[in-house]
Structure 1
């Protein structure tokens, strides 16, 4: 099965719940949504949706803080 086909596959029921909980554990341990998407062959949006359904509290976006000129 190619990555494109796998990314479009829908998981439902208990399997979906298990996938969501596994992703939640990894996200809560510091993995990024993009890394999880790449690892599982799912889209960023698909991983984000599964995490939201699993009750994840999302981290703020990364990057260096902006400095204001004085």
Structure 2
């Protein structure tokens, strides 16, 4: 149960724009653990960070 709650909390932070590396560092988890957010139904962003809201040239 604790793992599921952690997954939900990490998913929420990721959806708000936090990077996998920042989440792993802040929550004391491995990069691989956080990357498995897809288990919680998260669509991972492509490499290069959050590009939502940036103007298109």
TM band (smaller chain): 0.7 to 0.9
- Structure 2, unaligned runs of 5 or more: 50-57
User: How many residues are treated as equivalent by the alignment?
Assistant: 49
Q: How large is the RMSD of aligned CA atoms in angstroms? A: 1.1
1:54 to 19, 37, 40: 40
Larger radius of gyration: 1
Give the TM-score normalised by the residue count of structure 1. 0.66
Which position in structure 2 is the counterpart of 1:5? none
Unaligned runs of 5+ in 1: 1-13, 64-70
Q: Which aligned segments of 4 or more residues in structure 1 are displaced greater than 2 angstroms?
A: none
**Larger relative contact order (Cα-Cα within 8 Å, sequence gap ≥ 6):** 1
